[in-house]
Every structure is written in structure tokens, then in C-alpha cells.
Amino acid sequence: MFKAILARLRQGYRTRPFPSEDVKMPHRYLGLPRLKDAPLNRAAAACPYGAILTEERRLDLGRCVFCGACAKAAPEAVEFSREYKLCAGSRDALLVGRGDYKRAEPLARELTSIFGRSFRLRQVSAGGCAACEADCNVLGTLAFDMGRFGIQFVASPRHADGILVTGPVTKNMELALRKTYAAVSSPKVVIACGACAISGGPYAGHPECVGIPKDIPVDLYIPGCPPNPYTILDGLLRLIGRAK
């Protein structure tokens, strides 16, 4: 018992400060991509999921799995930064060009006043591979500790302020997603987390994947495959007006 207490004291304070300018992503981390002036044809040919739109000169973060194949094939056309702040408030905002990337804005003032200090989410794994789910679970550990911001995942949608969807939403999960959404009392929010939830990801076009139904409005898009825990936490804090 005393050895455990002594070891804990030696570890010190382990929760990382956030938001913070001191957050440093690993060298291998692929964050917000940047398009250069060179033609995108080679980059588009290397992209496995059609995320690069050559005619529009855009890269769709909703489809991108951040594999880096485009940058390897055409470094003169695409490069990835280490910027982890990737959330967007609309599907169209995920189309990245050469200009500034428009990140998500906070909810309306009346909603941030409700959710700003106590925000509960029901996570719905709608056919995901468990990668996004794992990075959501990590947010509850002492390193990230999203509970310090009043944000928690709850077991029942009746205790939630919204739902966070991961996975491409298979046909078998569509009804469960609809029932979960209906069980959350209004006002409520919907978050699409990961490429699969946003666009289908690697499963886009598969007959068994239907995506988030159009009659379930999405308030926040968090791209990635999977999104880094910092990316998810940044998106949640921006949504409730706790980050800029």
C-alpha cells in the first residue's frame, strides 16, 4: 500500500494542460493538410478513397483517412501539418483548399449557457472498427480528463445532452441510432466522429452502410481515422464555447 502511494507521489500531476499552446504532436502525426500550387492529379491517383477533388482543387477531410499516400506521391502538391484542431460545423466546411480552414463555431448562446458547464454524451458505435471508440474512451483517463470540463459519456441517452456517432452506420444499426437520438431530450446535439461517421470512410458506397440519416442533423464534424484524442477534445470544447 505504501509503495503504491509513494509511486503515485513520484509520478506527480499527470493531467495535461488543455487548451494549451504547449501541445506538441508526434513527428509522425499527420494533421491538417495543405494544398500547394502544383497539379493534384498524382495526389488524387494515390488517394485510396477519393478525398482529393482535382477540378475543385479541394481535399475532403470528411473522406480523408490521413494515410499520407497523397503527400508521398506528390509532395509538391500536398503536405500534412501537425495541426490537430480539425473540427468543422458543416459538411461543406470540411473541403480544404489553399485558404484558411474554417473551424466549428460554438453553439448558440442559449445552448452554450445550458451545456457550457455540464455536457453529457451518449456514444453510439454504429458499426465502427473500435478505433474511434478507443480514442473517445481515452478522454476519460487522467492524461486528458475531460471530466474537468464537465464533459462525460453516459450509459443512457435519457441522461444525455446529445449523441456522438462513430462508425459508418450499418443497416443493422440505423434503427438503434434513431431510437437513441429520439430518447435524448431537446435541445440536443449530434456529433459525427471519424471518417466513417462523416462519409462512410473505407466503407463508403457499401450496400450495408447507410450513413447518418439526413433527418438527424449533425452539429459537429470531427475528421480523422481515427481522430486524435486532442482533436476530439478540441471539437467538444469548441462546440460548448470553452475553446477558441
- From 121, 81, 70, select the one nearest 232 (Cα to Cα): 121
Per the CB < 8 A criterion, the answer to whether 176 and 124 are in contact is yes
Three-state SS annotation for 105-150:
CCCCHHHHHHHCCCEEEEEEECCCCCHHHHHHHHCCCCCCCHHHHC
- pLDDT in the model for residue 219: 97
Name the band, by pLDDT with cuts 50, 70 and 90, for residue 29: very high
- From 118, 120, 96, 80, select the one nearest 242 (Cα to Cα): 118
Residue type, 227: P
- Quick: pLDDT tens for 74-104: 999 999 999 999 999 999 999 998 777 889 9
Name the band, by pLDDT with cuts 50, 70 and 90, for residue 229: very high
Which of 151-175 are b and which e, b meaning 16 or more Cβ less than 10 Å from the residue's Cβ? bbbeeebeebbbbbbbbbbbeebbe
- Quick: pLDDT tens for 154-164: 999 999 999 99
Which domains, from first to last, does the chain contain? Answer: 109-239 (3.40.50.12280)
- pLDDT in the model for residue 6: 82
- Quick: pLDDT tens for 139-176: 999 899 999 999 999 999 999 999 999 999 999 999 99
Residue type, 128: G
Bridge partner list, 58: 53
Residue type, 49: Y
Which of 187-224 are b and which e, b meaning 16 or more Cβ less than 10 Å from the residue's Cβ? ebbbbbbbbbbbbbbbbbeeeebbbbeeebebbbbbbb
